[in-house]
Amino acid sequence: MSADVPVKTAGYASLYSFGKNGKGGDGIRPMAKLLLFNGALYGTTEYGGISKPGCFQGCGIVFRISTSGIEEIIYRFKGGDDGYEPTADLIALNGALFGTTSRGGTGPCSGGCGTVFRLVPGKSKSVIYAFKGGKDGATPLARVVAFAGTLYGTTEFGGLYAGGCFSGCGTVFQVSPRDKTERVVHRFKGGLDGAIPLAGLTLLHGAFFGTTQYGGLTTLFCSIGCGTVFRVDPDGTERVLHAFAYKRGSHEGAYPVAGLIPIHDVLYGTTYAGGTTAAGTVFRVTPRSGSERILYTFRCCPKRDDGAHPLARLLDLDGTLYGATRDGGARGFGTVFAVTTGGHERVLYSFAGKPDGAIPQAQLLSVGHFLYGTTAAGGSNYEGTVFRLAP
């Protein structure tokens, strides 16, 4: 258990830098959103922890950190059947934490096809399901969501091998924590149906909404499709609500890799690319009609204090959307930004690399009067940080 020396500016503090011992024993590269659970913040790092064949940088950890920057390792993944490389947000359900590992398990994929796990801090950890690859799905990168006692999520690969998806176009799945069974809800077909869902699902009125990075409509700039917004029902009925079509001279987005958030029955999200300078966009989609509108396009390169390439899911606070871009800003290491639903944007903080953070990729968490988040790089050891910001 240890505290780091925070980096502070007006309204901002870098609370903890990973990689303190030079070997990643306390974790490397936090990719996921923090979770408030039993009065503390919990998260994961993709690497660090136990190093072994297949996990040369470490198999990843689950950590707990106080709002003042005291960090403690809760669990070290062991690789193999136990799973490794956790990149997804944790969720709390019935007093336990649930998450996914992108690799490991017992499947035939090189390094394993990934797992869904259950963790009771200080007591037990178990694998709920190990993906089998092929039609079953592989590489669950995103968080699961609970609905009626069942977990629903996405896999990046596996499913159907069509439409140019050489590793599979990805799936939507459900897993029962009680009996540890799994069912594939939908297999993406590529092409107009969408392909490669990197983000988790959003529950709204009994249906799930999400994004695929590719598929949909092809343009000169999107040879395998600019990505889609989709709806899928628990029974497997799926339809594409919007297909992005980024082209020269358009403000349209391309490659949505972050999840969606609902505000008054309208879905808001980001695209990694597209917009006026190909630096990404903030958009809204109406679920009922599928109509889409671009709220803001990032203008990183001619105006470097703006952000570029948003990867994180947005956060809604009283009608203002807060998010992060992995690039851009005054120093080029990413930003935290705020944008209104009317499209007015401002940069709240520009990261500075080392000893500050860099490359924020996770959704922000609101606790009290502060926003908490992680950066995948930067910090004293350039292995990632936990930060706090007054919005």
Instruction: For residue 284, give the CATH number of its domain.
Output: 2.120.10.30
Q: For 52-110, list the strands marked E by DSSP.
A: 61-65, 70-76, 91-93, 96-101
Task: Please indicate, yes or no, if residue 43 is contained in any of the structural domains.
Answer: no
Task: Please indicate, yes or no, if residue 41 is contained in any of the structural domains.
Answer: no
Q: How far apart are CA 334 and CA 314, in angstroms?
A: 15
**129: amino acid identity, one letter:** Y
Provide φ and ψ at 191, rounded to 5°: 60, -135
Q: How far apart are CA 170 and CA 188, in angstroms?
A: 6
Across-strand partners of 96? Answer: 93
Query: What per-residue confidence (pLDDT) applies to 303?
Result: 57
Block mean pLDDT (10 aa), the chain, length 391? 50 92 80 96 96 91 95 96 97 97 92 97 96 97 96 98 91 97 97 97 97 96 96 97 91 96 97 94 96 93 80 96 96 95 94 94 96 97 95 84
Query: What per-residue confidence (pLDDT) applies to 162?
Result: 85
From residue 294, give the alpha-carbon distance in Å to each of 10, 79, 267. Answer: 32, 42, 12
**Do 175 and 129 meet the contact criterion of CB atoms below 8 Å apart?**
yes
Query: What per-residue confidence (pLDDT) applies to 248?
Result: 82
Query: What per-residue confidence (pLDDT) applies to 172?
Result: 98
Task: Please indicate, yes or no, if residue 55 is contained in any of the structural domains.
Answer: no
Query: What per-residue confidence (pLDDT) applies to 18?
Result: 95
Question: 177 CB contacts (<8 Å, ≥6 apart)?
Answer: 93, 98, 118, 128, 149, 150, 151
Question: 297 CB contacts (<8 Å, ≥6 apart)?
Answer: 251, 253, 274, 275, 276, 277, 279, 280, 281
Task: Please indicate, yes or no, if residue 303 is contained in any of the structural domains.
Answer: yes
Q: What is the largest CA-CA distance in the chain?
A: 56
Task: Please indicate, yes or no, if residue 21 is contained in any of the structural domains.
Answer: no
Query: What per-residue confidence (pLDDT) applies to 205?
Result: 95
Question: What percentage of the chain's residues is helix, strand, coil (to nearest 5)?
Answer: 0, 45, 55
Task: Please indicate, yes or no, if residue 150 is contained in any of the structural domains.
Answer: yes
Query: What per-residue confidence (pLDDT) applies to 391?
Result: 84
**34: amino acid identity, one letter:** L
Task: Please indicate, yes or no, if residue 1 is contained in any of the structural domains.
Answer: no
Query: What per-residue confidence (pLDDT) applies to 23?
Result: 59
From residue 55, give the alpha-carbon distance in Å to each of 48, 59, 112, 322, 382. Answer: 9, 5, 12, 34, 19
The token pair at 198 is: 């990197």
Task: Please indicate, yes or no, if residue 2 is contained in any of the structural domains.
Answer: no
Q: Domain total for the chain?
A: 1
Query: What per-residue confidence (pLDDT) applies to 104?
Result: 96
The whole-model pTM stands at 0.95
Q: How far apart are CA 338 and CA 95, in angstroms?
A: 33
**Do 202 and 260 meet the contact criterion of CB atoms below 8 Å apart?**
yes
How many C-beta atoms lie closer than 10 Å to residue 149's C-beta?
10
Q: How far apart are CA 185 and CA 320, in angstroms?
A: 33
Range of the domain at 140: 79-389
